[in-house]
């Protein structure tokens, strides 16, 4: 049964990838990942950085079954196959690896990110394929084991969308057409460290404290404005500093200037790249923004993470992605 495949397979060792160097330009990327075999080889090099090891018997040689995206152990009498895409966001996808790689590359290197419309044009795929690719990649952006924020953290609340004419500032929250958001940003001197953003149901103490506990290391100093929703932080084990309006950081009148800036950038990005997003999918767009923000110094790591390498995260099927049923949803009051 395997014979037809084996005839076209070649016996080889994993060539160590060139330090998994990141292609610096689009042209370089095209050359590096020109075809399915090159992409498959990259996946193999990520999986076995020290060379192939059969997970069953430890043998170090394999047949490459490029068309099946698998490697088969070459030990005499054994035929154990390892899928190159298992445990990654690409698993069981019929889309060519080259398309996946392109999408991941554009998503990690372009600061603005890409829309499905742009990807459709650039990769010559259907809109549906482009949309699904991007959403599957976005779902690979939250590593289950990611480390919590620490040190000094700014936390602030905001909202997006639901613009109601004639209402200003927090009056926009009347009738709650907007989506509520919470953001936390590490303060490293006057610079911004890692960030987290979540869609939340309300600004209550319970919600704010739960967000902090899920995202911020206990004992961390948390700076916020004086909103009462933050009052549970001390009891939850944080050093809470509710600040008055005033100069916390030189040259800034904001209580939480870094959180403000991060939220401003995020809102601009949502508007500029997507011209607004649906409320159901908002959380994955926040995840995308945070993902790129947290890896802005290391696009190579971002590229690898995005292809699901080492995250062990199973890809979400279309039915779930389309309805966003794997995301937390909060009732919107009319
Ligand atoms: Zn084996």
Cα–ligand 1 centroid distance for 54 (angstroms): 5
Give backbone dihedrals phi and psi of 239, rounded to 5 degrees, phi first.
-90, 95
**What is the CA(80)–ligand 1 centre distance, in A?**
6
Given this model, what pLDDT does residue 215 score? Answer: 95
Question: Under DSSP, is residue 264 helix (H, G, I), strand (E, B) or coil?
Answer: helix
Q: Rounded distance, CA 196 to CA 286, Å?
A: 8
Q: Is residue 136 part of a domain?
A: no
Q: How many angstroms separate the CA atoms of 57 and 40, rounded? A: 22
Please check whether residues 166 and 273 belong to one and the same domain: yes
Distance 12 CA to ligand 1 centre (A): 14
Question: Which residues 6+ apart lie within 8 Å of 114 measured at CB?
Answer: 103, 106, 107, 122, 134, 273
> What is the number of domains present in the chain?
2
Within-domain flag for 141: no
Cα 216 to Cα 306: distance, rounded to the nearest angstrom: 23
The answer, as to whether pTM is greater than 0.75, is yes
Distance 52 CA to ligand 1 centre (A): 10
CA 99 to ligand 1 centroid distance, Å: 31
Q: How far is the CA of 75 from the centre of ligand 1 (A)?
A: 6
Is 205 inside any structural domain? Answer: yes
Query: Which of 140, 144, 133, 193 shows the shortest CA–CA distance to 302?
Result: 140
**How far from each other are the two terminal CA atoms of the chain, in whole angstroms?**
60
Ligand 1 centre to CA of 43 (Å) is: 19
- End position of a domain, from candidates 84, 108, 138: 84
Tokens for 146, please give them: 């990611």
Same domain, 251 and 175: yes
Structure tokens, 86 = 């298992």
Distance 67 CA to ligand 1 centre (A): 20
Identify the domain boundary among 237, 262, 280.
280
* Together in a domain, 79 and 175: no
Q: Ligand 1 centroid to 61 CA: how many Å?
A: 9
User: How would you write the pLDDT of the chain (334 residues) with one tens digit per residue?
Assistant: 333 333 334 444 444 445 445 677 778 888 888 888 888 888 887 777 777 888 889 888 888 887 778 888 888 888 899 888 887 788 888 889 999 998 888 888 877 778 888 889 988 899 999 988 888 888 888 776 788 999 999 999 998 876 656 666 666 666 666 789 999 999 998 889 999 999 998 899 999 999 999 999 999 999 999 889 999 999 999 999 998 654 455 555 678 999 999 999 998 888 877 766 777 788 888 988 998 898 888 777 788 778 766 444 455 555 555 555 555 444 333 2
Distance from residue 73's CA to the centre of ligand 1 (Å): 4
Residues 164, 248 within the same domain:
yes
Residue 49 CA to ligand 1 center (angstroms) comes to: 17
Tell me, yes or no, whether 224 lies in a domain. yes
Task: Report the distance separating Cα 240 and Cα 231, nearest Å.
Answer: 8
What's the CA gap between 257 and 287, in Å, rounded? 21
Among 232, 248, 280, where does a domain finish?
280
pLDDT at 324: 58
**Domain with 52 in it:** 1-84
Q: Of 55, 257, 228, 79, whose CA–CA distance to 154 is shortest?
A: 257
Any idea what the CATH number is for the domain that residue 181 is in? 3.30.420
Cα(223) to centroid of ligand 1, in Å?
55
| CB contact at 8 A, 141 and 89 | no
CA 77 to ligand 1 center in whole angstroms? 9
Distance, CA 11 to ligand 1 centroid (Å)? 14
**What per-residue confidence (pLDDT) applies to 334?**
28
Pairwise CA distance, residues 34 & 258, whole Å: 41
**59 C-alpha to ligand 1 centroid (Å):** 5
The Å distance, Cα 315 to ligand 1 centre, comes to 27
Dist. CA 156 → ligand 1 center (Å)? 53
């Amino acid at each position: 049964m395997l014979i037809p495949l084996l005839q076209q397979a070649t016996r080889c060792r994993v060539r160590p990838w060139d330090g998994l160097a990141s292609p610096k330009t689009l042209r370089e990327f095209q050359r590096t990942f020109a075809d399915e075999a090159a992409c498959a080889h990259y996946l193999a090099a990520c999986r076995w950085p020290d060379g192939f090891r059969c997970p069953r018997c430890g043998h170090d040689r394999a047949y490459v079954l490029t068309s099946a995206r698998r490697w088969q152990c070459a030990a005499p009498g054994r035929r154990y196959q390892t899928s190159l895409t298992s445990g990654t966001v690409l698993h069981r996808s019929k889309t060519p690896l080259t398309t996946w790689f392109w999408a991941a590359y554009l998503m990690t290197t372009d600061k603005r990110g890409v829309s499905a419309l742009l990807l459709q044009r650039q990769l010559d795929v259907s809109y549906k394929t482009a949309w699904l690719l991007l959403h599957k990649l976005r779902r690979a952006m939250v590593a289950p084991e990611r480390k919590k924020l620490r040190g000094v953290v700014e936390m602030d609340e905001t909202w997006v969308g639901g613009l109601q004419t004639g209402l200003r500032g927090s009056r926009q929250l009347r009738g709650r057409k907007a989506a509520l958001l919470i953001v936390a940003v590490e303060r490293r001197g006057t610079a911004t460290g890692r960030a987290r953003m979540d869609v939340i149901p309300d600004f209550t103490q319970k919600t704010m404290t739960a967000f902090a506990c899920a995202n911020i290391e206990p004992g961390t100093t948390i700076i916020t404005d004086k909103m009462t929703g933050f009052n549970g932080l001390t009891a939850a084990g944080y050093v809470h500093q509710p600040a008055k309006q005033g100069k916390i950081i030189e040259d800034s009148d904001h209580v939480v200037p870094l959180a403000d800036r991060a939220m401003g950038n995020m809102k601009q990005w949502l508007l500029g790249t997507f011209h607004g997003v649906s409320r159901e999918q908002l959380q994955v767009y926040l995840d995308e923004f945070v993902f790129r923000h947290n890896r802005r110094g290391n696009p190579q790591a971002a590229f690898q993470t995005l292809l699901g390498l080492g995250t062990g995260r199973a890809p979400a099927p279309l039915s779930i992605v389309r309805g966003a049923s794997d995301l937390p949803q909060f009732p919107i009051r009319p």
